[in-house]
Amino acid sequence: MKGVKKENLPTKMCPKCNRPFTWRKKWEKNWDNVKYCSEKCRRQKTIST
């Protein structure tokens, strides 16, 4: 992903908050396994809204 403009980075939708989130460097090795936009959403995954 080096040299890619921010607007061209891949995005996903968070199933908890329904907001889009963008690829981050720390997720580089496991982007396919990332489901939630933040730790807060990940922790609340079993709580229904």
Task: Give residue-wise pLDDT tens across range 1-49.
Answer: 677 788 889 999 999 999 999 999 999 999 999 999 999 999 986 655 5
How much is the pLDDT for 47? 58
Q: What is the pLDDT of residue 48?
A: 56
Chain center to CA of 49: 19
Q: Supply the pTM of this predicted model.
A: 0.72
Residue 37's Cβ-count burial label (10 Å; 0-12, 13-18, 19+) is: buried
* Per-residue model confidence (pLDDT) at position 6: 83
pLDDT computed for residue 23 by the predictor: 93
Residue 22's H or E segment, with its range, is: strand 20-22
Distance separating alpha carbons of residues 11 and 18, to the nearest angstrom: 12
